[in-house]
Amino acid sequence: MSLKAGIVGLPNVGKSTLFNAITKKHILAANYPFATIEPNVGVVTVPDSRLDFLVSLYKPKSVVPTTFEFIDIAGLVSGASKGEGLGNKFLAHIREVDAIVEVVRCFDDENITHVEGACDPLRDVGIINTELILADLEIALNRLGKIEKKAETTKDKEAILEVNVLKKVKENLEKEVALRLVDFDKDELAILKNFNFITLKKLIYVANVDDLSASVGDNEYSLTLKKLADSEKASVVVMCAKLESDLADLEDEEKKKFLEDVGITNSGLDKLIFATYDLLGLQTFFTSGADECRAWTFKRGMKAPECAGIIHTDFEKGFIKAEIMSFNDLYDLGSELKVKENGKLRLEGKDYLMQDGDICYFRFNV
């Protein structure tokens, strides 16, 4: 299951520095606008101690953790929706992601150029969100211009429904309301899916603070951002991108010691990865054995056959049953044999809703 999160923000707010830390790839992170010209894609491993336990238990020949992609998208500026800066090219890249990570600079530094002259998180968020809203509004207006007349003349039910949904979109965007904050029913969302509206995508803010604020946990800028996020029912991850980038090259023990020395209990990167994973409603199931231990990403609410299909389409087509044990049972009892002896190994059918941490063996026949 290929899932993508796009990192956006104004130029020089720390997007590329954050991306360096996430992917451990040292791309250009220069102190001037548009240092990133093509979107950089990095595959992120989701840390999971459960997989580590399975590896220690089965000692497999190969290990495959669950992953998803972070895409570093070049800085947007005021007027991007009209082509300013590198404008529409990057708005197009944002349309291809599943979720948006909006990096907001929350520290003062006279040595780092700010495209707007000074640090102001609310202003910066306003610029980005306005440009994304304007970009969506342009698409809605263009489509309305093409289909509204058809709906009036043909009385086609599907066309009428589409027009009504697009009018709802238009009304909210003109009020500067992001579409993710608007209530749409299932049928409306099915129509909107075709347009790939940016402001309909799930969003998480990253408050990029200095290293001192990172050790404390907040500063006045990040607290202001959190207040805004609360009003939007969004979440905020506070971190120092520069510090995380420095940490990325360290071994695990060195990293742990470094974090202890600066007074930080958890890596900001880990918090961001988990927060983004949760934001998209993602969970993990496992397949385990002597040949391979592997973590698989699935969306909360998927049934057993759908998850089998993530491994291979034939598994879903010919699904019979799923042999399932929960990770907690295996961890507590210590072996598959003990799980079976205690009646904790289950046979589940087509209607079974997969749970986070399920360890599965799928029976199928094609």
DSSP code per residue over 152-216:
HHH--HHHHHHHHHHHHHHHHHHTT--GGGS---HHHHHHHGGGT-GGGSEEEEEEE--HHHHHH
Least-confidence region, from 194-198, 243-247, 265-269? 265-269
Give the rounded percent of residues in the chain with a pLDDT score beyond 90.
Answer: 53
pLDDT tens profile 329-344: 999 999 999 999 999 9
Identify whether the C-beta of residue 191 lies closer than 8 Å to the C-beta of residue 154: no
Amino acid at 154: T
Predicted pLDDT of residue 299 = 94
**Given its phi and psi angles, is residue 343 left (phi above 0), alpha (psi -120 to 50 degrees) or beta?**
left
Give kind and range of the element (H or E) at residue 8: strand 4-8
Tokens of 269: 């990167």
**Which neighbouring-strand residues pair with 41?**
71
Tokens of 247: 């940490």
**94 has pLDDT over 70:** yes
Task: Tell me how far apart the alpha carbons of residues 145 and 350 are, in angstroms, rounded to a whole number.
Answer: 45
Q: What pTM does this model have?
A: 0.82
- How is 71-120 classified by DSSP, letter by letter? EE-PPP-TTGGGT-TTHHHHHHHHTT-SEEEEEEE-S--TTS--TTSS--
Task: Tell me how far apart the alpha carbons of residues 270 and 206 are, in angstroms, rounded to a whole number.
Answer: 13
Using pLDDT thresholds of 50, 70 and 90, give the confidence band for residue 214.
confident
Using pLDDT thresholds of 50, 70 and 90, give the confidence band for residue 76.
low
Amino acid at 31: N
Q: Whats the size of the chain, residue-wise?
A: 366
pLDDT tens profile 282-296: 999 999 999 999 999
CB atoms within 10 A of CB 206: 29
Task: Compute the radius of gyration of the chain from its Cα atoms.
Answer: 23
Using pLDDT thresholds of 50, 70 and 90, give the confidence band for residue 84.
very low
**180 has pLDDT over 90:** yes
- b vs e for 119-142, b when ≥16 Cβ sit within 10 Å of the residue's Cβ? bbbeebbebbbebbbbbbbebbee
pLDDT tens profile 229-255: 999 989 999 999 988 888 877 877 888
Identify whether the C-beta of residue 204 lies closer than 8 Å to the C-beta of residue 99: yes
Predicted pLDDT of residue 28 = 44
Tokens of 28: 């250009």
- b vs e for 316-345, b when ≥16 Cβ sit within 10 Å of the residue's Cβ? beebebbebbbbebbeebeebeebeeeebb
pLDDT tens profile 20-63: 887 764 444 444 443 444 557 888 788 899 999 999 999 999 99
Average pLDDT across the chain, whole number = 86
Tokens of 313: 């389409």
**85 has pLDDT over 80:** no
